[in-house]
Structure 1
Amino acid sequence: MEEQILQYRDAVYEQVVKVGKSLGNVTRLRILDLLVQGPKTVENLANTIGLSVATTSRNLQILKKARLVEIERHKNFVTYRLTSDQIKQLISLLVTVAEQSQPELAAIQTTFKQQTGSPQALTISALKAKLTAESTYLVDLRPNDEYETQHLPGAHNIPYDELPQHLAELPQDKEIVVYCRGRLCAYANVASQALHDAGFKVATFNQSVWEWNQLMSS
């Protein structure tokens, strides 16, 4: 019986290890973080990450084998999506654990914020209060497809690459709050400095839309 218990233990842990192994790669974590924003084609993922379609596809197959992503077939194309909201929760928790256990991560984030001159990020409760008071103009810096999938209430979509062309459209009498894909996304910090240099009062929100929705629904 003892041998049977040991065999069972090793077998079940081996299945859990499969998930861990699939996560132990920077490219695959970036893919999962992008898919938190919504379904994407392999071409879209490859272009965003800056890798070839072939390399991106190989990493997607590893994630698919671990059942973290799945294929959704359309008439003329195929998209990849996360298999469940639990994967979104896993990525969020993984970032939280890294922030709490890896001082190097905090140092990297602090240095980057100092270099970009970005302001202190708003908490979810602070942003909620500002939105209630209608004292802010909220800007979603993500690509349009991610914005259309889900976005914060009242947010205006100005993709990061297009921000310089839209500065004249932003209100001067409100605080501009910018956000992107979440805590590991750099766009909000860089954009906040550009807006500050252009004379706007600006703040950042560095959590993801999914994290916002989770707290609002709890």
Structure 2
Amino acid sequence: MNAQALKNHLYGQVARIGAAVASPKRLELLELLAQGEKSVEALAREAAIDIRLASAHLRVLREACLVDVRREGKSRIYRLGGSDVSALWVALRSVAESRLAELQVAMNDLFTGAERLTLESSRSLLEKVRAGDAILIDVRPEPEFSTAHLPGARSVPLDELLGRIKDLPDDKEIIAYCRGPFCIMSDTAVALLTRHGLRARKIAEGVAEWQAAGLPLAVAKA
């Protein structure tokens, strides 16, 4: 193989990753899997596509070595190929947000500046939670919380929040987070908490963003 042919081969291998992620639904599947392993049925349901299409997208991601799969009875359980794949999703979204005006406008509609954390403000948030000055709630489904969550967070899945509002203190700020900047579960949670007279706000960052920033994560105790 001559030098140019070798270069073409090398660039071609990297392009396999680009081709695999060149789909909005495949990016959404990666974001979902950044929360923890899931069955193809769960992925299809959460991405609002049918199982056949979900399987086809997952096959492309698997061929690019971005996801792995295992069998559990009759179910196929998918997971990310590694933490670097989660970091790839965060990096792609960050570059898109910095370069694409349309995405910037959409993100500005979703978030105020205070909801987007810097490394410094993330550490400040941890200190507030550790000191008991704020309550951090994770409104994702409990299995995602068990896989990994922000330190000090409580698991209060969105579908349980209404029934558990009485368990939350009314004299402290409640801070909600979910799957990251594109997830709106935290918006719903904040609206519900505010209607019930609690001081609440959301943060944009989730587990994938926290990990990509080199910040510690926690797992639920067995």
Alignment TM-score, normalising by the size of structure 2: 0.87
Distance 2:12 2:34 in 1: 26
Q: How far apart are residue 151 of structure 1 and its match?
A: 1.3
Aligned partner of 2:24 in structure 1 is 26
Task: Report the Cα offset of residue 10 of structure 1.
Answer: 1.4
Q: Identity percentage over the alignment?
A: 32
> In the alignment, which residue of structure 1 is the partner of 2:214?
215
**Which of 162, 175, 178 lines up with 1:177 in the alignment?**
175
| 1:195 Cα deviation from its structure 2 partner | 1.7
**Paired residues, what number?**
211
- Local SS of the residue matching 2:68: strand
Determine the C-alpha separation between the residues in 2 that align with 1:132 and 1:156. 12
Q: Which amino acid aligns with 1:66?
A: A
Pick from 156, 159, 162 the counterpart of residue 157 of structure 2: 159
Structure 1 residue 120 corresponds to structure 2 residue 114: yes
Deviation, 1:98, is: 1.4
CA gap of 1:194–1:84, structure 2 versus 1, over 3 A, is same
SS across alignment from 1:120: helix
Does the aligned pair in 1 maintain the 2:44–2:51 contact within 8 Å? Answer: yes
Cα drift, residue 198 of structure 1: 2.0
Kept after mapping to 1: 8 A contact 2:126/2:152: no
**Residue in 1 aligned with 2:220?**
none
Listed one character per residue, the Cα deviations across residues 115-153 of structure 1 (whole Å, up to 9, x for unaligned) are: xxx783162123123113211111111011101111122
CA RMSD of aligned residues (A): 1.9
Gapped regions of structure 1 (runs ≥ 5): none
CA offset at residue 75 of structure 1? 4.7
AA aligned to 1:80 is Y
Structure 2 counterparts to residues 7-156 of structure 1, below 5 A: 7-75=5-73, 77-113=75-111, 120-121=114-115, 123=117, 124-156=122-154
Query: Could you tell me whether the CA contact under 8 Å between 2:173 and 2:198 is conserved in 1?
Result: yes
Give the structure-1-normalised TM-score: 0.89
Deviation at 1:200, TM superposition (A): 1.1
SS at match of 1:81: strand
Q: Hey, what's the Cα distance between the residues in 2 that align with 1:126 and 1:189? A: 22
Structure 1 runs (4+) deviating above 4 angstroms are none
Q: 1:195 to 1:99 in 2, by over 3 A?
A: same
**2:38 is paired with a residue of what secondary structure?**
coil
1:216 is paired with a residue whose SS is coil
Change (3 A) 1:202 1:119: farther
Contact 1:41 1:78 in 2 (8 A): yes
C-alpha spacing 1:57/1:95, structure 2 compared with 1 (3 Å):
same
Work out whether residues 130 and 152 of structure 2, in 8 Å CA contact, stay in contact via their aligned partners in 1: no
2 CA distance for matches of 1:216 and 1:89?
A: 13
